[in-house]
Amino acid sequence: MPAIGLLSVELHIPGSRSLKDKRGVLRSIKDRLRKLNVSVTELDYHELHQRSALGVVAIGSTRSVVDRSLSTANDEIGKRADHVILSMAIDWLM
């Protein structure tokens, strides 16, 4: 049975002094995540320059495949030192 998972991640970007700085950090994250064959978008805090909420979606043939993809995505987000992960949650849509 196919599975769809949503990884929700809230970030604090302490070095960001403007929305332009924030967009640069998010662009870097998004570019790296797209190489993992997942979809990613900013979900919230569009007007705040030091905070962001990202949504990462993966679809696969089984739940374990999707879980692995989302775990890899979460690890990739955590690799950078220019932001702090405030919260992370995985929701199963199917």
The domain that holds 45 is classified in CATH as 3.30.70.1120
pLDDT band per the 50, 70, 90 thresholds, residue 88? very high
**Are the beta carbons of 65 and 28 closer than 8 angstroms?**
no
List all residues 6 or more positions away from 20 whose beta carbon is below 8 Å from its beta carbon.
Answer: none
Residues 13 and 82: beta-carbon distance below 8 Å? yes
d(CA 34, CA 47) in angstroms, rounded, equals 24
Q: Is 52 helix (H, G, I), strand (E, B) or coil?
A: strand
% of the chain with per-residue pLDDT over 70: 100
What average pLDDT score do residues 82-93 get? Answer: 90
Residues 65-90: what's their mean pLDDT? 91
Has residue 55 got a pLDDT over 90?
yes
What's the predicted TM-score (pTM) here?
Answer: 0.88
Mean pLDDT of 32-61: 93
Range of the domain at 47: 3-92
Number of folded domains that form the chain? 1
